[in-house]
Amino acid sequence: MRLPFLVLAATLCDAAFAAEPREVYYQGFLVPQSITPTFDKGYLFVYNFDKIDAYAPDGSPLYSVAAEVPNAKTAHVQNAAADTDGTMAGAVAYYSGARKRGGGIALFDRSGKQTRFFDTGRYWPTQVCFAPDHSIWTLGWQGFEGSRKNDDYFILRNYSQEGLELGAFLARSSFDPEPDPVGPITGLWQLRIMNGRIGALFYGSSILGPRQKSRPAQWIEADLHGKVLERWEVGAEWAPEAFTQSGALYTHSADAVLMFDRSTKAWRRVAGAPAGFLLGADGDSLVFEVRGTSRLRWVPASQ
């Protein structure tokens, strides 16, 4: 007798999840390098070789730009984020010859004009996110050299748009010595702010050094003063792909959407997955890239 009830419950859950979806068509190719784009506040950032293609919330193209770094031979935006007014921040890695490399943050207005670049020294931002007060939060690292020298530093930082460091938090020494909890990755996201909480993913995609082994991903939440509130091991199989306004974490597989149950510290199935890739959240809706198209689909989240 229990099996029909389980089937019915799963069917009802899938139906609730699929209620009232909407789609937006983006007027361009969203994966020119087979890199998953970054979705933030309705804006979409596509990684197109050395440039970023930005799209407005209605799907229209805004601009295509590259970061300009003084005296750098090459500069790449590895991660991008949007403010509510359309300002874009890019986490930039640059190279200036003789193996000299560094990082910083580039800011662009809604027309694509670069309004500022500020260098962050030995700290290389890999993820960026705007706070409600329009300041910029980052995740970053010092590369393998910093790890080998046991050089402690703060991974989570807060900057003004003028480039002033407002705070530095979450010491590298609060993680295991190996592997690095943060590493460079292009596309997607690993840092978001929802409902007064900073959420950050660690170990989910970071690179590994020689003889280093991967470890389960970790999700950390902090308040807007940088105080760590909670840490969760979210497993080696799944990594959060959406952080909703209500504070829920979601991921997806080929045929299911899963939500992280904080009480059991495990992922549980909540719905069938649309044909596509989960890019993130917009409020309490999940946003999927529809496979094989230039469309994004908003689906109300079901818990």
CB 140 within 8 A of CB 164: no
The CA-to-CA distance between both ends of the chain, in Å, stands at 25
22 and 77 belong to one structural domain: no
94 and 140 belong to one structural domain: yes
Residue scoring higher pLDDT (63 or 15):
63
120 and 161 belong to one structural domain: yes
- 103, part of any domain: yes
Q: Look at residue 148 and give its three-state secondary structure.
A: helix
pLDDT, tens digit, 9 for 90 and up, residues 2-49: 333 333 333 334 444 545 679 999 999 999 988 999 999 999 999 998
39 and 24 belong to one structural domain: no
- 48, part of any domain: yes
Number of independent structural domains in the chain:
2
Q: What is the mean pLDDT of residues 267-275?
A: 90
Of 239, 267, 285, which closes a domain? 239
pLDDT at 29: 93
Rounded to 5 degrees, φ, ψ at 103 are -145, 165
C-alpha 126/C-alpha 89 separation (Å) is 12
Burial class (CB in 10 A: 0-12, 13-18, 19+), 81: buried
- 244, part of any domain: no
pLDDT, tens digit, 9 for 90 and up, residues 164-181: 999 999 999 999 988 899
Q: Look at residue 146 and give its three-state secondary structure.
A: helix
- 246, part of any domain: no
pLDDT, tens digit, 9 for 90 and up, residues 89-102: 999 999 887 667 89
The reported pTM is 0.90
pLDDT at 45: 98
Would you report the helix, strand and coil content of the chain in percent, each value rounded to 5? 10, 45, 45
273 and 145 belong to one structural domain: no
159 and 63 belong to one structural domain: yes
DSSP string, 258-278: EEEETTTTEEEEEEPPPSEEE
CB 92 within 8 A of CB 117: yes
Q: Which residues pair with 252 in a beta bridge?
A: 257
pLDDT at 19: 53
Of 198, 216, 239, which closes a domain? 239
List CB contacts of 24: < 8 A, sequence separation 6 or more.
57, 58, 59, 295, 296, 298
List CB contacts of 289: < 8 A, sequence separation 6 or more.
30, 36, 37, 276, 277, 279, 295, 296
22 and 37 belong to one structural domain: no
87 and 179 belong to one structural domain: yes
Rounded to 5 degrees, φ, ψ at 262 are -70, -25
C-alpha 127/C-alpha 105 separation (Å) is 10
Residue scoring higher pLDDT (158 or 254):
158
pLDDT, tens digit, 9 for 90 and up, residues 208-257: 777 778 889 999 999 999 999 999 999 888 899 999 999 999 999 988 99
pLDDT at 145: 62
- 245, part of any domain: no
Instruction: Residue 235: name the closest of 222, 252, 212, 219 by CA.
Output: 219
42 and 153 belong to one structural domain: yes
pLDDT at 211: 75
- 302, part of any domain: yes
Split at pLDDT 50, 70, 90, the class of 207 is: confident
C-alpha 250/C-alpha 278 separation (Å) is 9
Mean pLDDT estimate for the chain: 89
49 and 198 belong to one structural domain: yes
CATH number for the domain harbouring residue 215: 2.130.10.10
9 and 94 belong to one structural domain: no
Rounded to 5 degrees, φ, ψ at 129 are -160, 140
Residue scoring higher pLDDT (292 or 128):
128
pLDDT at 143: 80
C-alpha 256/C-alpha 23 separation (Å) is 20
pLDDT, tens digit, 9 for 90 and up, residues 243-253: 999 999 999 99
- Tallying the residues shown for the chain, one arrives at 303
| Owning domain of residue 97 | 31-239
60 and 102 belong to one structural domain: yes
